[in-house]
Chain A
Amino acid sequence: MSVGSPLNIGLILGAVIATAAVLIWVERRLLAVWQDRLGPNRLGPLGLLQVAADMIKILSKEDWVPPFADKGVFVFAPTVIMVTMLTAFAVVPIAPDVGIIDFNFGLLYFLALSSLSVYSAVLAGYASNNKYSLYGALRASAQTLSYEVFMGLSVMGVVMLAGTFDLRVIVEAQQNLWYIVPQCLGFAVFFIAALAESHRTPFDLPEAEHELVAGFHTEYSGIKFGMFFVGEYIGITLSSAMMVTLFFGGWHGPLLPPVVWFVLKTAVFIMLFILIRGSLPRPRYDQLMAFGWKVMLPLALVNLMLTGALVLMVGSDA
């Protein structure tokens, strides 16, 4: 096995899509546990077959395009989020010999694709020809634009310390010290930005049910809706994987094989995403924007300055 072998590619693709599917069940069960309920537990062991049932249901639903929609764009929009999220996974270094491709600009590639994914929401909202969808799309684009700025800035500290954009080299540089220690501020900012990028509660204003019906995917049903859903879960997995890669030492860890460590760490972050959905309320839209520009952006800049000073003091590649 080496990076980029067909077996590797197939396994990673399969694993990511399977994860996204199982996450539907994981999220429902975990939310139930935290809300003192039982959750779906009837179908199969622990209710795991619920995934299959949900899939069959969503696949067999009528694939309907509203007559007032812009048909081509309407069909195209859900594919965008799937494609961007899946291709972004290509650069994630999972273990020493496991991965799809290593770019020396891997981090930039990830940032670029995660910004491209907002086109999914924008195009969906535009093509639906529905005012609530359009509001959702507007919010999605504004939110992504503002949170992207400091998402990029927050990881620059890591880039400074490692001296590279290559994700695999970044992980290797964390052999002795995970970057969460010198970069805890950067991690906090990155985490919040990742939450906002994946449109998860408390940053799910593009689809805020209580005001916008379902936001940009109001008009979607069946498999196209399912793609938005799965795309969101892949986005969560991707964000969690990136946090592990950038701040938590990737595959490094004692005793267990590297792949297991990577999966375990990623799973913890996915659960954290779900925990946050289960506990925090959604802010108002102006609060969201103010929080982004007035709190997170300065924090990211302060982190950048401090890291720069640190690197200058200790000498380069500290």
Chain B
Amino acid sequence: MAGLRQIAMQGRAVLGIVLSQFRTLWRVLGHTFTRADTVQYPEQKPALSPRYRGRIVLTRDPDGEERCVACNLCAVVCPVACIALQKAEDAHGRWYPEFFRINFSRCILCGLCEEACPTYAIQLTPDFEMAEYDRRNMVYEKEHLLIDGPGKYHDYNFYRVAGKSIGGKDKGEAEHEAPPIDIHSLLP
């Protein structure tokens, strides 16, 4: 009995394998009538989501100032180390990058820099058409990266919520920030 059952089980297994081959053939044949997922590229553009990870830009805050505070977090997190920048400070005490350089021939468009950035300054855009004949042209400087708008985050302004004091905004004046405690006072 046990032997018979084993043979029956094996038979069913073999039958399953054979049937699965036919099912595969049938389903692939069914794709004759499905639409192609690819498009006629240069004439027809593929639909890319706004979150697509393409060419990197540096954005500005709603007031039109540079968002980047040159904290170097993006340069540190970048797995291929293709971001280089140098911090500078303006007359109001704002930090900004003196130069900001991304070598797109090395960038793998992983998006980690965007995730690391505390100020939403660095953002990836749905543009991937970056082909160049000369490899040196793949190195983008700050003037190529900086755009005029706020990118994906329209209202965020780092200096308005951060505790750092800059010209025109002292300590305790940021949004949701309590005035600093006077440590010399004895009042509760």
Docked Cα-Cα span, A32 to B36, in Å, equals 9
Tell me which of A34, A38, A276 contacts B31 (CB under 8 A).
A34
- How many residue pairs link A and B with beta carbons under 8 A? The number is 34
Asked whether, in the complex, the Cβ of B25 is within 8 Å of the Cβ of A37, the reply is no
Q: B185: CB under 8 A from chain A?
A: no
Q: When each residue 272-290 of chain A gets 1 if its CB lies under 8 Å from chain B and 0 otherwise, what string results?
A: 0001101110000000000
Docked Cα-Cα span, A34 to B32, in Å, equals 6
Asked whether, in the complex, the Cβ of B38 is within 8 Å of the Cβ of A33, the reply is no
Q: B49: CB under 8 A from chain A?
A: no
Q: A36: CB under 8 A from chain B?
A: yes
Q: Which residues of A contact B36 (CB under 8 A)?
A: 32-33, 36-38
Binding site for A on B (CB under 8 A): 21, 24-25, 27-29, 31-32, 34-40
Asked whether, in the complex, the Cβ of A280 is within 8 Å of the Cβ of B34, the reply is no
Asked whether, in the complex, the Cβ of B40 is within 8 Å of the Cβ of A275, the reply is no
Q: A2: CB under 8 A from chain B?
A: no
- The minimal Cβ–Cβ distance linking B39 to chain A, given in whole angstroms, is 8
Q: Which residues of B contact A35 (CB under 8 A)?
A: 31
Docked Cα-Cα span, A57 to B186, in Å, equals 90
In terms of DSSP, what is the predominant structure of the interface of chain A?
A: helix
* A184-239 at interface with B (beta carbon < 8 Å): none
Contact sample, A vs B, 21 pairs, CB 8 Å cutoff: A33-B36, A34-B28, A34-B29, A34-B31, A34-B32, A35-B31, A36-B38, A37-B36, A37-B37, A37-B38, A38-B38, A38-B40, A275-B25, A275-B28, A276-B25, A278-B28, A279-B24, A279-B25, A279-B27, A279-B28, A280-B21
Q: Which residue of B lies closest to A42 (CB)?
A: B40
Asked whether, in the complex, the Cβ of B37 is within 8 Å of the Cβ of A36, the reply is yes
Q: Which residues of B contact A280 (CB under 8 A)?
A: 21, 24-25
Q: Which residues of A contact B28 (CB under 8 A)?
A: 34, 275, 278-279
Asked whether, in the complex, the Cβ of B24 is within 8 Å of the Cβ of A36, the reply is no
- The minimal Cβ–Cβ distance linking B32 to chain A, given in whole angstroms, is 6
Q: Which residues of B contact A278 (CB under 8 A)?
A: 28
Docked Cα-Cα span, A89 to B151, in Å, equals 66
Docked Cα-Cα span, A280 to B31, in Å, equals 15
Q: Which residues of A contact B35 (CB under 8 A)?
A: 36
Asked whether, in the complex, the Cβ of A275 is within 8 Å of the Cβ of B31, the reply is no
Q: A34-B31, A279-B27, A280-B21 are in contact. List 8 more A-B contacts (CB 8 A).
A: A34-B29, A34-B32, A35-B31, A36-B31, A36-B34, A36-B36, A38-B36, A275-B28
Q: From B28, B37, B40, name the one whose CB has the most chain A CB atoms within 10 angstroms.
A: B28
Q: Number of residues in A with C-beta < 8 Å to the partner? A: 12
- The minimal Cβ–Cβ distance linking B44 to chain A, given in whole angstroms, is 10
Docked Cα-Cα span, A35 to B36, in Å, equals 8
Q: Which residue of A lies closest to B31 (CB)?
A: A34
Q: Which residues of A contact B39 (CB under 8 A)?
A: 38
- The minimal Cβ–Cβ distance linking B7 to chain A, given in whole angstroms, is 15
Docked Cα-Cα span, A195 to B32, in Å, equals 22
Q: From A32, A33, A275, A279, name the one whose CB has the most chain B CB atoms within 10 angstroms.
A: A279
* A1-52 at interface with B (beta carbon < 8 Å): 32-38
Q: Which residues of A contact B32 (CB under 8 A)?
A: 33-34
- The minimal Cβ–Cβ distance linking A187 to chain B, given in whole angstroms, is 15
Docked Cα-Cα span, A33 to B27, in Å, equals 13
9 closest residue pairs by CB, A with B: A279-B28, A36-B37, A279-B24, A34-B31, A37-B38, A34-B28, A38-B36, A36-B36, A279-B25
Q: Which residues of A contact B21 (CB under 8 A)?
A: 280
- The minimal Cβ–Cβ distance linking B170 to chain A, given in whole angstroms, is 61
Docked Cα-Cα span, A275 to B32, in Å, equals 10
- The minimal Cβ–Cβ distance linking A46 to chain B, given in whole angstroms, is 13
Q: Which residues of A contact B27 (CB under 8 A)?
A: 279
Q: Which residues of B contact A276 (CB under 8 A)?
A: 25
Q: Which residues of B contact A36 (CB under 8 A)?
A: 31, 34-38
Docked Cα-Cα span, A279 to B25, in Å, equals 6
Docked Cα-Cα span, A150 to B87, in Å, equals 77
- The minimal Cβ–Cβ distance linking A65 to chain B, given in whole angstroms, is 36
- The minimal Cβ–Cβ distance linking A129 to chain B, given in whole angstroms, is 38
Q: When each residue 252-296 of chain A gets 1 if its CB lies under 8 Å from chain B and 0 otherwise, what string results?
A: 000000000000000000000001101110000000000000000
Asked whether, in the complex, the Cβ of A275 is within 8 Å of the Cβ of B29, the reply is yes
Docked Cα-Cα span, A38 to B41, in Å, equals 11
Whether A33 touches B24, Cβ cut-off 8 Å, given contacts A38-B36, A38-B38, A38-B40, is no
Q: Which residues of A contact B31 (CB under 8 A)?
A: 33-36
Docked Cα-Cα span, A32 to B28, in Å, equals 11
Q: Which residues of A contact B24 (CB under 8 A)?
A: 279-280
Q: Which residue of B lies closest to A30 (CB)?
A: B32
Q: Which residues of B contact A38 (CB under 8 A)?
A: 36, 38-40
